[in-house]
Each structure stands twice: as structure tokens, then as C-alpha cells.
Amino acid sequence: MIVSVGPASFVLPRRTLLVTLGLGAVLVAAMIAAVSLGTMTVPPGDVVRSLLTGGTDYDLVVRELRWPRVVLGAACGAAFGLGGALIQSVARNPLSSPDVIGVTQGAGLAATIALTSGMAYQLIAPAAMAGGLLAAVVVFAFGARTGFAANRFVLAGVAVAFALRAGIEVVMSSAETIDALRAQIWLIGSLNGRGYEEAGALGLVLLLALPLLLWAARALRTSALDDDTARALGARPAARRVAVGALGVVLAAAATAQVGAVDFVALVAPQVARRLSRAERPPLAASALAGAALVVAADLAARLLLAPTQLPVGVLTAGIGGPYLVYLLIRRRR
């Protein structure tokens, strides 16, 4: 099936289209459930009426307390899903995700330094994003020397991630107890106390990245070719890999900067989309929807499991992603 967006056109397999629509429906259902369920249960019909027209008895709960958090969860999940899909496509390795190759840890180190040094709250997100981007530069510098060979790229990322994690521990061990606690909460990743402000900042990043994502979808068509064949077709494979990978890093770093280190969403969501679509590489739109649905559903579970205590969403995503990472390692070994 051919889909046209302005002057650009894309070949979209029928199964991928159906999976994308299905994941969109799952996301909508998860968002309605996340607004409906909680200490006070709101009927789904009233949720929809409150969001569309207002004037219901549940407007405060729906529109002011729950919906902003759900929107942020969907936005950060989409950014993580897209970032993971782009990086995995470039590295041609399902283990290549921002939280495995050091991007999340770079953001975490920068945020930890900001939180424990008394930096203004408004500067924490920019600091975290800068840290994630700097970590990616180091990993990409190693990867570029080997033409982004899958195994070496991942190994370089894991090494950088461990080094940055050690840096986080050093900073936290020397910080005041209250500052270390704040940093620890940020490092787990949480939507608690966040809403439209963070969602707006992340939404702006996604909007600005949209033209680049459309370009990346076309550029990835040559990513499965060997370099000689790609050059023969007039492509510049190394430059394209760097550009596509950099876009993925920016999206993942932007999401991490707003909600903290919500681990494994960028690892799991693209592979869920790829396996459902039976595609050669993770489809971008389906990866974004899978990531959004995963974060919204995980945050709902985090609110309900030990209610009225609310767990950070990062606890739930780590619980899902950890076993999945083990599964991928065993599968690749076989």
C-alpha cells in the first residue's frame, strides 16, 4: 500500500498498517482506562464526555488530575519508541537502545549532578538532555570507527553506560541525603507531579522532528543493504546512519530529560512493533504507538498495584524490560 504525505510517498505493507491501527486502538483504550481507574472510578463514557465537552461532575479528576499525566505518558512513550526504533535500525541489533548504550545513563549523570549541586529546577531537564547527547557522541565515535558493526557498537555503548553509572554512584555517595534521594527518584523515572508543562516541551520536540522522521523512514530503506550496494545506488550509508541515529538519540534524550530514566521502553516497544508487523526492521509509527501504550499502561499499573501508594512508572517498565532483555540474549545465543 502506498501512502503519500505531501511530496513524499511511502510503501506501507498491509500488515504493518493493520498493526499500526491496532496499536492505536490499544493506546486509546489504555488512555481511557488510565483516566477512568483510580481511587475514584470514573465511567468511561463520562471520561469521553468530560474530555470532549466538559460540564460533568468528574471534570476536576479527569481534566486536571489524570489527563495531563496520561498525555505526558503517551508523549514520552512515543519518543522512547521512536528513539529505540531508529537506533536499533541503524545498529541492526535489537539490543541497541538508549538505556543499553549509555544515553539514559549520560542523562542520569547530568541530572544527578544538577540535582545534588543546587541547580535551579528549570535547568535540570536541559542538563539531562545535554548529558544524554554527550554520551551518545562518545558511543557514536566508537561505532563510526567500525562502520557501526552491530556487536561492537553495542559493546561500546555498554562500556560507556557502566562508566557513567559509576559516575552516578560517586556523585550520589558524596551528596547530601535529601539531594541523593531526589536524584534517586529521578533516576527511576516517574510521571508523578508532572503534566502539561513537560508534555508540551516533549510535544514540541516531536513536532519539530516530524519532517526528519519522514526523511528517516525513507533513509532506512537502504539500511539493510551492505555499504557497497548502497553506494552503488547513490546513497551515503555511513552519513545516513549517523544522521538517523542522532535523531533517535535526540528523541530518547528529550523524553528522559522530562520524565527521568524510564528504562526498557525504547528496547521493548520497537521489537513488539517489529514482531507484530513481521517486518525486517521496527516500523516507526507502530513503534511510537507501542511505546506510548506501554508507558500509559505501566503507569496505570504503578498507580493501582499498591494504592494509595504510587510506584514510579520506571519500576514497572524495568520489571517488564529486564526479563525481555534476558529473552533477547538467550534467543541471540541460540
- The yes-or-no verdict on residue 19 having pLDDT over 70 is yes
Whole-angstrom Cα distance, residue 95 to residue 267? 7
Helix axes 14-36, 284-304, angle to 10 degrees: 20
Model pLDDT, residue 33: 95
Q: What secondary structure letter does DSSP report for 66?
A: I
- Give the pTM: 0.88
Identify the pLDDT of residue 311: 85
Do residues 289 and 30 touch, judged by C-beta distance below 8 A? no
Taking 90 as the threshold, does the pLDDT of residue 188 lie above it?
A: no
Average pLDDT score over the chain:
84
pLDDT band at 154 (very low <50, low <70, confident <90, very high): confident
Q: Ranked by mean pLDDT, which of 97-106, 145-154, 238-247 comes out on top?
A: 97-106
- Tell me, what's the pLDDT at 185? 81
The Cα-based distances of 127 to 2, 23, 90, 267 in angstroms read 41, 33, 26, 23
**pLDDT tens digits, residue range 274-323?**
989 988 888 999 999 999 999 999 999 988 888 787 888 888 888 877 77
Confidence band of 234 (pLDDT split at 50, 70, 90): low
Q: Comparing C-alpha atoms, which of 92, 140, 114, 139 is closest to residue 243? A: 140
Predicted confidence band of residue 125 (pLDDT cuts 50, 70, 90)? confident
Burial of 330 (0-12, 13-18, 19+ CB in 10 A): exposed
Cell of 279: 517486518
Provide mean pLDDT across the span 231-239.
Answer: 61
Whether the pLDDT of residue 229 is over 70: the answer is: no
158-186 average pLDDT score: 86
Average pLDDT for residues 191-219, to the nearest whole number? 89
What's the pLDDT score for residue 59? 87
Q: Which residue has the higher pLDDT, 325 or 255?
A: 255
* pLDDT score of 4 more than 80: no
Neighbours of 37 (CB within 10 A): 18
Q: Which range has the top average pLDDT, 112-121, 164-173, 216-225?
A: 164-173
Look at residue 153 and tell me whether its pLDDT is greater than 60: yes
How many other C-beta atoms can be found within 10 angstroms of the C-beta atom of residue 322?
13
* DSSP 8-state symbol, 169: H
Angle at 123 between CA 121 and CA 128, to 5 degrees: 110
Residue 143 has pLDDT above 80, yes or no: no
> 202 or 237: which carries more pLDDT confidence?
202
Residues with Cβ < 8 Å from 239, sequence gap 6 or more?
Answer: none
Tens of pLDDT along 28-85? 999 999 999 988 889 999 999 999 988 888 889 999 989 999 999 999 999 999 999 9
Q: Report d(CA 252, CA 206) in Å as an integer.
A: 11
